[in-house]
Structure 1
Amino acid sequence: MSPVQALAEVLVGHPQRRVIDRALVSLLEICRSEQEPEAWRIVSGTLADISEALGVFRPRRDIRKVTVFGSARTVSTDPSYLLAEELAREAVAAGFEVITGAGAGIMEAANRGAGCENSIGLNVDLPFEQHPNPIVSSCEGRLLHFRYFFTRKLFFLRESDALVVLPGGFGTLDELYESLTLIQTGRTPPMPLVLLAPEGDPFWLGWEEKSLTVMRERGLVSPEDSSLLFLTHSAREAMAQIRRFYRVFHAAELQSDRVELMLNLPIPPEALDQLNREFDDLVDEGAIQAAETSDENGFLRPCLRFHFDKRRMGRLYQLIDRLNRLELPHCEALESSGQRSGSSATVV
């Protein structure tokens, strides 16, 4: 059977048939207009990257993951290396897996702290500095080799539930700015972004003062955009902040002019009234409304829905923080931050 015949067979009754049809139309248009070998290497390599990555992440989709960014040049005696290793241990203890770029330095430290059985490495072929570290190389099915940076970045953001950035060079700052841009513009759902450096290391304090503060003072970013970041010198506090982010908040569905915040448990009416008073400026029209929705696993969850301006992502983060600080009766749902499918949800 040819690949085209096999595709036709698989498409019969496929739940995503309409989306696949659109993808095939795009591929058909490229076929009609493009004969250059390099163009087809890009198409083929991109699809191969996506196919292989989906295969690795599919069986692990229910486990939340922390991505750790940092320099490949950091030596094992550097305090940042030791801090990355400690962070990964804290992440695994909290029920998270750890994603890195699979290289040396900070990446190796995080994989070492997590252990290969709790690590995933997203490697990219480079002429120097980017050979897979022995930790992710030692466990089968835990290492991906990407042909392109853009597909690698796609999966860093798609599969992560939190980002932790340690000191690094151009590549690390590129990953930080790319993540901030996608979060600020609403192209990726809200997730905690932590800047972590050893005690006494001014790396991120200097960056905040010389870059973020200057941009804010010149009106190049919104004042509330500082809420997109959390700075700390402690691995334990970094993970505590990540866990707090998913205490009441579970996930978000961002649409063009509306947001749906899925929750781990419903909030009382008086808390909803208070949120509407505190965040009236965030809502474009109407009010924040309590409802129910299905999450990515088909579970029915309580949620909050409202219309808002995507340029106010920093303010949305402030709302999520306020939600997570609500005083609610203790229950298992408030302790399940490491799972994407919590016990509070019901199957629909």
Structure 2
Amino acid sequence: MRPAHALIDLDALRHNYRLAKSLSGARAFAVIKANAYGHGAVECANALAAEADAFAVACIEEALELRTAGITQPILLLEGWFEASELPLIAEHQLWAVVHEQWQVTDLLEAQLSQPLHIWLKLDSGMHRVGFAPEVYPTVWRQLEASAQVASLTKISHFSRADEPDTGRTEEQMAIFTRATSGLVGPASLCNSPGILAWPQAHNDWLRPGIMLYGATPFGFPQGHADLLKPVMQLQSKVIAVRDLPAGEPVGYGSRFVTSRATRVGVVAMGYADGYPRHAPDGTPVLVEGQRSQLIGRVSMDMLTVDLTDLPDCGLGSQVRLWGTGLNASEVAAHAGTIAYQLFCNLNRVPRRFTSSFSASAT
């Protein structure tokens, strides 16, 4: 079989969830939207089922997949519903829902439900994506608080620059949140992964760890708590061919890379059809048998090329790690001008193999 695969370490996933919990006395969602950021939602949920306080997903399709798999914890729909017809299913499956727009309020107040819903009312504290403006938020809160359709209300907002601690923006958002929710009694949730790791004063009642669950740092600099994370995914393949080229020879499509010396080129079974970024430049780091090397030449659909010149013991059949232990996905992403979130979510053709001290499986 083609050697490209992603090894998913479920023990590392549990470690990262426990780290998030250890930084606060708050309860914590395990955010596993987008197929657990490309790691496998059902497998990751099952790995955390014994200890996660709740799960969070983007939409009802993702939530129902977890319910079908036997997940019984609360599941929060981070974008709420998209059509009023979803509301009976939300009630039936006891899902929690974010409300962020007036049309959702109208849907909820007009619905005929089997039971009231747990609602998380979104404040736009400065992200300016979704949520109620601070000046109208208290009015909407009291309107829902008075409705028999609502079982409970939680205050929620989202940081836009928590991964940039010196901008002052996070302090501004916290101040807006405090003012807008003053006098509104109920639990609160502000912190995504960088908020959890770097802003303890904002932890409140519920944490929402996302990218940190999967072991990638949200920061572009060393950060004490983030340095304790363990990569969950090892994206791996092998060298399937070796070429010895003299100086002055082009490598790959478009002749982007031209050898400046006699060069041993390793061809790796990994490409953009697998999710590796096509736009990764020459010099993007890779590990060959645990030793640092670099990408040379443009990434193809099914293959990419690496420099083996300074690795004389490596060659045909050598193990190649594209990201994982020893090479954080965030570092690869920085070279490629993107973020680890996108690397994980773009993972496509490669099979995922799951490992832990409790069980092992493959898909």
TM-score range, shorter chain: under 0.3
Q: Which has the larger share of helix? A: 1
Which structure has the higher relative contact order (CA within 8 Å, separation 6+)?
2
Larger Rg: 2
Q: TM-score, normalised by structure 1?
A: 0.27
Q: Which has the larger share of strand? A: 2
Q: TM-score, normalised by structure 2?
A: 0.26
